[in-house]
A and B are shown apart, each in its own frame.
Chain A
Amino acid sequence: MAIDYKALKNGGFMRQVQKNNFSLRLKVVGGNLTAGQLLAIADISKKYGDGHIHLTSRQGVEIPFIKLEDVEQVKAELEAGGVNTGVCGPRVRTVTACQGNAVCPSGCIDTYPLGVEISERYFGKELPHKFKFGITGCANNCLKAEENDLGVKGGYTIEFVKESCSLCGVCIKACREGAIAKIDNEIVLDKSKCNNCGRCVKSCPFDAWKGEPGYILSFGGLFGNQIAKGEQFLPIIRDKEILFRVADAALAFFDKHAKPSERFRIAIDRTGWDAFKTEMEVAYHG
Chain B
Amino acid sequence: MDDFAIDESIDITDVVCPVTFVKAKVALEELEEGQVLSIRLNDGEPVQNVPRSIKEEGHRIIKLADNGDGTYNLIVKKVENQGET
Contacts and interface: CB of A to CB of B under 8 A. Distances in A.
B10 interface: no
Interface in A42-80: none
Given A166-B63, A173-B47, A176-B48, 14 more contacts: A105-B56, A166-B1, A168-B61, A168-B62, A168-B63, A169-B66, A170-B61, A173-B43, A173-B48, A174-B51, A202-B52, A202-B55, A205-B51, A205-B61
A203 interface: yes
Contacts, number: 36
Interface in A190-230: 199, 202-205
B48 A174 contact: yes
Interface residues of B, number: 15
Contacts of B31: none
7 contacts: A166-B1, A170-B64, A173-B43, A173-B47, A173-B48, A173-B72, A174-B48
Nearest to A105: B56
A169 B52 contact: no
Contacts of B47: 173
B23 interface: no
Interface of B: 1, 43, 47-48, 51-52, 55-56, 60-64, 66, 72
A168 B74 CA distance: 9
A193 to B, nearest CB: 16
A169 B43 CA distance: 13
Nearest to B51: A170
Contacts of A168: 61-64
Contacts of A205: 51, 55, 60-61
Contacts of A173: 43, 47-48, 51, 64, 72
A148 B64 CA distance: 40
Interface in A134-191: 166, 168-170, 173-174, 176
Contacts of B51: 170, 173-174, 203, 205
Given A166-B1, A173-B48, A174-B48, A203 B64 contact: no
A176 B47 CA distance: 11
A18 B64 CA distance: 63
Contacts of B61: 168, 170, 205
Most B C-beta atoms less than 10 A away, residue of A168, A199, A205: A205
Nearest to B54: A205
A260 to B, nearest CB: 48
B74 to A, nearest CB: 8
Contact of A203 (B43, B55, B72): B55
A255 B52 CA distance: 45
Contacts of A170: 51-52, 61, 64
